[in-house]
Structure 1
């Protein structure tokens, strides 16, 4: 039996959530619903503008949120990332461990960069628009991988945002090769449509040779396939992934596995914050399939978890909520 269900790699960021309106997004030149990479100066300017709208702070980053979701469901995960020797870096490391995720985010040498930060701007319609300064996480490299822990996992989980810099891209490709050489399955999330639009060559490299499990939303699937037809996009996904989860927002999700397509209906809720919903979907699904559940059952758990998450602020559930969701969706602690 493996020591870990999932070994995840991704950017280490501190998420700072703020309430904004759409005129504010237009004023600062951001497209609603997108993720934009910015430099330190731009991030500082935006942080100053938003200092009175902050509602929540937590350790973040797509893979980080997924690993915490896995842990809250009862799974075991290890996360490799990179933080600086500053207050946000110390906060990130402590918060991950407090949420049950083993990690190798030892602070770098003092004065060597800053920990990454993501400003998550929530509009009244619950959509999240993100502005990210990657900080030192942009230099996450092969040296930051823990091959020892990777070999002990059932799945490697790669955050698609790693495609955005040469060193992080190289680390992801190396991790995938090491996983394949050691019989570890590989899961990938596209993360954001902008990663496909601006780093297509890198994303193609991530999926080269196929992957075992892909997570994406509708816009990402359509963008990757270069089509307006969901059916065409699905055929393309089948060419690169043995199985996949295609989330459709309030309409539910399509889960493909074992040669079968499963349509999962959405759960009607009043959404206030969609930040982290896709990340939690992945964490809950990974928990399910590493604990003996069928893709349909794992997908049902993931639908329930993400539906609960969007009804509250922040990118994660409380552990008590996770237990209740497992019970209500017919999945019990293993």
Structure 2
């Protein structure tokens, strides 16, 4: 049976904390962006957070993983390429994928060498999320972690933008893209993931673009960084010159779907933001699922906006089973 969506991305155990802006400033982090760090750098931060009594929740995350879990909960057949270690977090991670119905190769590295990846997500009262990520073993993929048959037997192949931050992961991603040149029916999509990552690794994003894309996902800041634009309007004009469809989220302004022929604006769903962590992942998962149902682009965006609105009302990157069902039922009624 054909996969609906296969993806490649970092396997990270997310721990989300509620903090004040001052805490992030004291750490020297960029608010609403992701910073790469190490397990050693995480330790004192975690100690401070625990000592402060900050409200927290932990779950298995990673951007592409969150998107696949959403699509799988809606009924899509999904397969994930990622890497964990044989430690407690790694076992928990693969069990989480199994529970969500997401297929995987199941490779586990030795935790004696490198632990499973971790991401500390700091959520401020304005619902913005700031991340410090220790990729650990998730950044050390090799060709043994790839199942090219699963990838080419998919309707969509989705690449998490964070794959560019590791030479090993980037090499594996290019191997998959090279393989897909012989399978033109597989649609290729990637996420821009983070404006800082786009700025720091732009050449790699452009190299992936050269393989022939069908869709990119990102927010307005990421889109501006990607095409060197000073405004959203300029970014959209430049994106219209691309051969693929760009799907851009704009916070309070909703989202835009940009193609050569048109720009489709869709207002955001009404919501009371609590935590924006995982909203973009949910948006992409919803949008791709709707594409697979042969929905038009406007309907895809409306479904994705609604799904993302439910995530921002939730503390943590994922929804309960009941909320996934509610989101899907809303889509079926539209």
Q: Where on the TM-score scale, by shorter chain, does this alignment land: which range?
A: over 0.9
In 2, the alpha carbon distance for the partners of 1:153 and 1:328 equals 26
In structure 2, list runs of 5 or more residues that go unmatched.
Answer: none
In 2, the alpha carbon distance for the partners of 1:125 and 1:213 equals 30
Give CA deviations for 1:207-260 in whole Å, capped at 9, x if unaligned: 114310100100001111212122221132234451121100121100135833
In 2, the alpha carbon distance for the partners of 1:104 and 1:293 equals 31
Partner residue, 2:170: 169
Q: Cα offset for 1:59?
A: 0.8
Q: Cα offset for 1:331?
A: 5.1
Where does 1:56-95 land on structure 2 (aligned, <5 Å)? 56-95=57-96
* 1:55 maps onto 2:61 in alignment: no
CA contact (8 A) 1:207 1:240 kept: no
In 1, the alpha carbon distance for the partners of 2:167 and 2:129 equals 27
In structure 1, list runs of 5 or more residues that go unmatched.
Answer: none
* 1:4 maps onto 2:6 in alignment: no
CA contact (8 A) 2:279 2:317 kept: yes
CA contact (8 A) 2:5 2:155 kept: yes
* 1:311 maps onto 2:317 in alignment: no
Partner residue, 2:27: 28
Give CA deviations for 1:267-311 in whole Å, capped at 9, x if unaligned: 221100000000000000010001221111111110100011101
Q: Cα offset for 1:327?
A: 2.6
In 1, the alpha carbon distance for the partners of 2:212 and 2:236 equals 15
Distance change in 2, residues 1:110/1:325 (3 Å): closer
CA contact (8 A) 2:86 2:109 kept: yes
In 2, the alpha carbon distance for the partners of 1:319 and 1:256 equals 32
In 1, the alpha carbon distance for the partners of 2:311 and 2:69 equals 13
Q: Which moved more, 1:248-257 or 1:129-138?
A: 248-257
Where does 1:1-334 land on structure 2 (aligned, <5 Å)? 3-51=2-50, 52-183=53-184, 184-257=186-259, 259-330=261-332
CA contact (8 A) 1:227 1:233 kept: yes
In 1, the alpha carbon distance for the partners of 2:136 and 2:321 equals 30
Q: What number of residue pairs does the alignment pair up?
A: 331
What's the Cα RMSD here?
A: 1.6
CA contact (8 A) 1:83 1:106 kept: yes
In 2, the alpha carbon distance for the partners of 1:136 and 1:238 equals 38
Task: Tell me the TM-score normalised to structure 1 length.
Answer: 0.95
Q: Cα offset for 1:172?
A: 1.3
In 1, the alpha carbon distance for the partners of 2:315 and 2:276 equals 8
Q: Cα offset for 1:205?
A: 1.1
CA contact (8 A) 2:240 2:259 kept: no
SS in 1 for 2:214: strand
CA contact (8 A) 1:142 1:167 kept: no
Give CA deviations for 1:138-174 in whole Å, capped at 9, x if unaligned: 1113331110111210011000000001111111112
In 1, the alpha carbon distance for the partners of 2:165 and 2:92 equals 25
Task: Tell me the TM-score normalised to structure 2 length.
Answer: 0.95
